[in-house]
Amino acid sequence: MVGKTNLDQFGMGSNNTNLVFGPVLNPKYPIEDNPRVAGGSSGGTAAAVALGSADFGIGTDTGGSVRLPATYCGQIGYKPSYGRISRWGVVAYAQSLDTVGIVSKDMAVLRGAYELLDQYDEKDPTSMTIETRRRIKRLSPVSPASTSLTIGIPIECLVTELVPEIKDSWLKLLSQLKQMGHQIRTVSIPHIPKLLLAYYSICTAEASSNLARLDGIRYGHTAGGGAGSSSAPEIMAETRTKGFHIETIRRIILGTYTLSGVSGNHYLRANQKREALVKEFNQIFNMTNPLFHELIKRDDSKCDFLLIPTTITKPPTLEEAMATAKENFLTAYVNDVFTVPASLAGLPALLIPYDNTGFQIIGQYGDDEAVLQFGSTIEHNCI
């Protein structure tokens, strides 16, 4: 590890504009005039790789924070299955979602980095157990020699907000895969339209709990309290007012409400939606979920992978992003609609740059090797 890159504070953002050190500019586009955002929250990592400053970089992906900047900066981005890579040392945003991911220009480099990091870590209580890792190797139905796979397209992702250029690129890539001998079929994941509400209920609630430790007394940034003139509550209030970005404050407040009794138990209901989503994924993938005991038989109604866009729009200019956030901060949240399903279910999702945008290959939980292998095939034959 040679350096730390810029990012949205505590991983909270989609455009890399919620930062202490100023916004990250996208090196893929001219920055002299009307620069574009790099995507967030791990935009600094994607920008560094795009600039050639590093062969690969790591970031954290809570709801798309590796895949979105990789898309905007034209790089390969990978969010592995939840628990594959240790989170030891990561400052928690939402611990049931946070996943360490990788960004690189080259699939071979990315896979090499992944193989080094893909280890059980006893210091991380969320690390995938050795027993589960062994079970996965026995369950995956996809072999490196597979030449005819079934690619699923969720009908819920065919949204009207998807810009025509991305839709055209999606059809073009699917056509190439079909010519290569792969099967394309539509599938249904009914909970996808409901997931943004569930995602932001869960992640903000967990952020409210996790960031409570940053009180300006035990460690980290401290404001006020000179010569013992301030009380502990005053130090805490001033530290959080000056130390937290407005977006961080907004999410802490929202999460605190979510965890309160007056919210109607949003956190519990959001996790019920999450559980239902996992069951829907289990019904459409050919591979059995290694965390469940029922065995699934491969049949024509199921698929090996999903292939969906990462975002509904092209990267906005910095000016557009700031104006949109000022007008209605909720608009930025909508851009996570295609990335949060894999995050909520803990699934591996590989972002492949294609035709000036990017598409995600999503597999069953634990089926990382097959996802990466298929990504290498697309890189070799389609890009």
Transcribe 112-148 into DSSP letters. HHHHHH----TT-TTSPPHHHHHHHHHH----TT---
- Measured distance CA(273)–CA(230) in Å, rounded: 45
Q: What Å distances lie between residue 323 and 142, 178, 191, 273, CA to CA? A: 46, 41, 31, 33
Domains present along the chain, CATH in parentheses: 9-189+284-382 (3.90.1300.10)
**Blockwise average pLDDT, block size 10, the chain, 383 residues:** 87 86 90 87 95 95 95 97 95 94 97 97 96 90 76 93 93 95 95 92 94 84 68 86 90 92 87 96 94 71 94 88 75 82 97 95 96 94 82
Which residues, 6+ apart, have CB-to-CB distance to 305 below 8 Å?
149, 150, 151, 152, 361, 362, 363, 370, 371, 374
Q: In the beta sheet, which residues pair with residue 100?
A: 60
The amino acid at 81: S
- Measured distance CA(360)–CA(245) in Å, rounded: 30
Whole-number pLDDT of residue 215: 85
Whole-number pLDDT of residue 285: 95
How many other C-beta atoms lie within 10 A of the C-beta of residue 54?
17
Q: Which pTM was predicted?
A: 0.93
- Measured distance CA(56)–CA(285) in Å, rounded: 30
Whole-number pLDDT of residue 258: 92
Whole-number pLDDT of residue 77: 97
User: Three-state DSSP class for 239?
Assistant: helix
Whole-number pLDDT of residue 52: 94
Whole-number pLDDT of residue 222: 85
Q: What Å distances lie between residue 259 and 127, 214, 333, CA to CA? A: 26, 18, 20
Cα Dmax for the chain: 73
User: Three-state DSSP class for 92?
Assistant: coil
Whole-number pLDDT of residue 19: 83
- Measured distance CA(248)–CA(242) in Å, rounded: 11
User: Three-state DSSP class for 184?
Assistant: strand
Beta strands 305-309 and 150-154, pairing class: parallel
- Measured distance CA(258)–CA(173) in Å, rounded: 41
Whole-number pLDDT of residue 58: 96
- Measured distance CA(229)–CA(118) in Å, rounded: 49
